[in-house]
Amino acid sequence: MNRPGEEKLKHLFRPGSIGRFKTKNMVKYGACCVSNYNGRDGFITPRELARVRVIASTGCGIITNQGAYPDPLGEGKAYFRQVAIFDDKFIPQFETIAGYIHDAGAVAIQQILHAGRYGGIDLGYCIQPSVVPQTLPHFRPPRELTKEQIKAIVAQHADAARRAIRAGFDGTEVTSFMGYLLANFNSRFTNQRSDEYGGSVENRGRFMRELIDAVKQATPDSPMLIRLNAAELMDRWGGNSEDECFELMQQAVDCGVDMISVTVGWQEAPESSFGRDVSPGHWNHLSAKAKRLFPKTAIAFGNRLPDPVMADQCIRDGVFDYWEVCRPLLADPELIHKAAEDRLNEVRPCIGSLNCLSRLFRDLPYTCTMNPVLGHEVEPEYAITPAVEKKRIMVIGAGPAGMEAAITARKRGHEVTVFEKSAHIGGNLAAYAANDLARPEDLRSVIDYYRVMADKLGIEVRLNTEANAKFMRSVLHQYDVCLVAAGARTDLGAFRYLEGAELLVDALEVAHGRIKPGHRVVMVGGGMIGLTIAESLTKAGHEVVVVEEEKRVAGDVMPTFKWRHTAWVDELGIRTLTSSRLVKVTSEGATVKNAKGEESFVAADTVLVSSPRKANHDLFHEFQWMVDELHGAGDAVIARGLDAAIHEGYRMGVRI
């Protein structure tokens, strides 16, 4: 009998097929690049196996295991802890993973990932079709491949595919996503060869065609999938046009691939492909074009498409065949099950913050802003287990840290009450969302999720209730535990000796809509909060000048989103005074001094302060002798970002 959500999303949950294999639904788990949970020697660790067990349980019809590099030298190795498949000694670990996937009733696909331009992480050089200098300084200097090396790489892919099938996988996938070796040959940006592997689109696709042919010959009874760009977004560097991308797809179709996974963008692309500034469904037209051009080839797609309802409609309308999901399942591994059970309001949303990629691009194991358990599945301490002793817990603050802790503690059986001094939950995240130029809906979805889960679990949330020392005395001994998650505030006290300090305005008051600034604004602080409010005010018609003591703005912004804020600053014409500090404020404006000691006056109607931020430590001192256990989480401990708040809130909830 079908579950209620399966009836509503009947296209998503209908059975399908890939090659000779049947799939239980039309959902493909995307490989998500690599996790960086493995050993430096290419062997899989218990940490990775625990993660794969979770992936296997997601309910997807097809599950693609993370990309493994196929060459013994490691020229294809992109990340320090990338898994390897260049030798038979690695087969047993892949047998374990294939077993997990099959036990869950899914078709198992192993991705082969040779990083090319982005590889050679242990070698100090990378290999490419041509010597094209890196545009990003952290990648290695290139060496041009000889024809003999090209043949060897093709053979290595075939051998890797053969090993994957011997290990029990049903098929293999080769990827060009994000600018890896296959993309390097396909693109006229990185392929400037003059032999039969370069020049025309047909010649540039020769490596791909040889690769497909070799893999298919090595594994003739197994489906062969390929991930190809429908748009490189590399126009600035002379990359492929959209038409060229689809010509290359046609070549892959002519070679008989069983599925094309349509992707968008390179690591070097100067615009976003699936960050928070891209609306869900923005790239759907590319998969629709692929499906229209190649109706007999299965098309998988999921680029910035986190919504099962939209995915169901896309399958119905022939936009693609399989919904390819990765990051939404990192945020909530139960997404497909919740969709099937018609519980989409309980989904922990993927907000596109790209914390995962920010860490990956720093060669760290990836984590997720929204899912504190990701990467810690192997650790019993992160599991939600029944509390040994049921406690009465009071949480101070209904921001992300407080709500995460409350929900987690309640799931363990504790009795939880949340006290919030404002009229709504969400804390400063609500104010941040109100000024966000990217996707306010993504940030608000976090608050909506917490509201839904609090209602479902029976957590009492007392709004308009300030928990101070007097309040604590009134409820003395009614609670066993107090968790302070009262966030951080703008530290106006840091300017108390400044002439005109009484004229300064807290930027958070503006963000919350409690104060309206004048037309001309000076924003002191060019971090995430200051820039977000400055951008919002500028778009609303204000003239804003940002003053920042550091050499650059966006210092506390997640690495994968820094460029977006600096681009907005340029697009909106926001003047920034870096290496500068505020020295005086009057009713006419602000006096600023730069690193050379030079002073300048900036006319302004309002001078806002967004930095420095100060954790709300006062309650820790006030409550120290009033409750058995006193803990803190999030910005109340030290002012940081959303990921730290959610992760700390969860860790407190799971251990109290």
DSSP 157-185: HHHHHHHHHHTT-SEEEEE-TBT-HHHHH
Lookup: tokens for 642: 């959303």
Does a cis peptide bond (omega within 30 degrees of 0) precede residue 612?
yes
Tell me, yes or no, whether 426 and 437 share the same domain. yes
Same domain, 464 and 605: no
Let me know whether 644 and 535 are in one domain.
Answer: no
pLDDT at residue 591 is higher than 80:
yes
Residue 365 lies in a domain: no
How far is Cα 22 from Cα 633, in angstroms, rounded to an integer?
Answer: 47
Asked whether residue 448 falls in the same domain as residue 547, the answer is: no
Question: What's the pLDDT at 542?
Answer: 98
pLDDT digits (tens, 9 = 90+) for 198-232: 999 999 999 999 999 999 999 999 999 999 999 99
**Mean pLDDT, rounded, for 457-477:** 94
Q: What is the CATH number of the domain that holds 407?
A: 3.40.50.720
Residues 434 and 546 in one domain: no
Residue 272, pLDDT > 90, answer: no
Buried b (16+ CB within 10 A) or exposed e, 311-345: bbbbbeeebbbbbbbbbbbbbbbbbbebbbeebee
> What DSSP string runs through 606-625?
EEEE--SEEE--HHHHHHTT
Cα–Cα nearest to 628, from 385, 394, 397: 394
Same domain assignment for residues 334 and 396: no
| Section 319-342 average pLDDT | 97
Per-residue pLDDT for 473 more than 80?
yes
Q: Using 50, 70 and 90 to split pLDDT, how confident is the model at 436?
A: very high
Using DSSP, state whether 586 is helix, strand or coil: strand
Q: What is the mean pLDDT of residues 463-478?
A: 93
Residue 513: give its domain's CATH number. Answer: 3.50.50.60
pLDDT of residue 173: 98
pTM above 0.85, yes or no: yes
Residue 200 makes CB contacts below 8 A (sequence gap 6+) with: none
Residue 356 has pLDDT above 90, yes or no: no
Q: How big is the chain, counted in residues?
A: 656
Asked if residue 548 is part of any domain, the answer here is yes
Same-domain check for residues 340 and 420: no
- State how far the Cα of 305 lies from the Cα of 302, in Å rounded to an integer: 5
Structure confidence by residue, pLDDT tens digits, 116-157: 999 999 999 999 999 999 999 999 999 999 999 999 999 999
Q: Over 90: is that where the pLDDT of 491 sits?
A: yes
The CA-atom distances, in angstroms, between 431 and each of 4, 551, 635 are 36, 27, 15
In a shared domain, residues 218 and 243: yes
Q: What is the pLDDT of residue 559?
A: 85
Residues 246 and 394 in one domain: no
pLDDT over 80 at 237, yes or no: yes
Angstrom distance (rounded) from CA 215 to CA 265: 25
Report the pLDDT averaged over residues 548-572: 93
Q: Does some domain include residue 443?
A: yes
Q: Give the lowest-confidence range in 82-86, 436-440, 601-605.
A: 436-440
> Is there a single domain that holds both residue 222 and residue 114?
yes
- The pLDDT mean for the chain works out to 96
Pairing of strands 575-577, 543-547: parallel
How many degrees, rounded to 5, is the angle at CA 152 between CA 146 and CA 153?
Answer: 90
The dihedral through the CA atoms of 118, 330, 30, 350 has a sign that is negative
| Residue 268 CA to its chain's centroid (Å) | 17
Say if residue 406's pLDDT is above 80. yes
**Overall domain count for the chain:** 3
Residue 455 in any domain: the answer is yes
Residue 368 in any domain: the answer is: no
Q: Which domain holds residue 343?
A: 4-360
Those residues with Cβ within 8 angstroms of residue 392's Cβ, 6 or more apart along the chain or in another chain = 414, 415, 417, 478, 479, 480, 481
Q: Where a domain ends, among 599, 614, 629?
A: 614
- Alpha-carbon torsion 364, 365, 367, 373, what sign? negative
Q: Looking at the structure, do residues 351 and 439 belong to the same domain, yes or no?
A: no
Measured between its terminal Cα atoms, the distance across the chain in Å is: 40
DSSP structure class, residue 273: S
pLDDT on residue 519? 98
240-249 pLDDT, tens digit per residue, is: 999 999 999 9
CATH number of the domain enclosing 181? 3.20.20.70
pLDDT band at 1 (very low <50, low <70, confident <90, very high): confident
Asked if the model's pLDDT at residue 170 lies above 80, the reply is yes
pLDDT band at 387 (very low <50, low <70, confident <90, very high): very high
608 in a structural domain: yes
Asked if residue 367 is part of any domain, the answer here is: no
Whether residues 598 and 586 share a domain: the answer is yes
User: How many Å separate Cα 553 from the centre of its chain?
Assistant: 22
Burial 203-233 (b: 16+ CB within 10 A, else e): bbbbbbebbbebbbebbeebbbbbbbbbbbb
Q: Residue 505 is encoded by which pair of tokens?
A: 């305005």
Asked whether residue 584 is assigned to any structural domain, the reply reads yes
- pLDDT for the residue 275: 84
| Percentage above 70 pLDDT, the chain | 100
Task: Name the phi and psi angles at 494, rounded to 5.
Answer: -65, -15
Contacts of 514 (CB under 8 A, 6+ apart): none
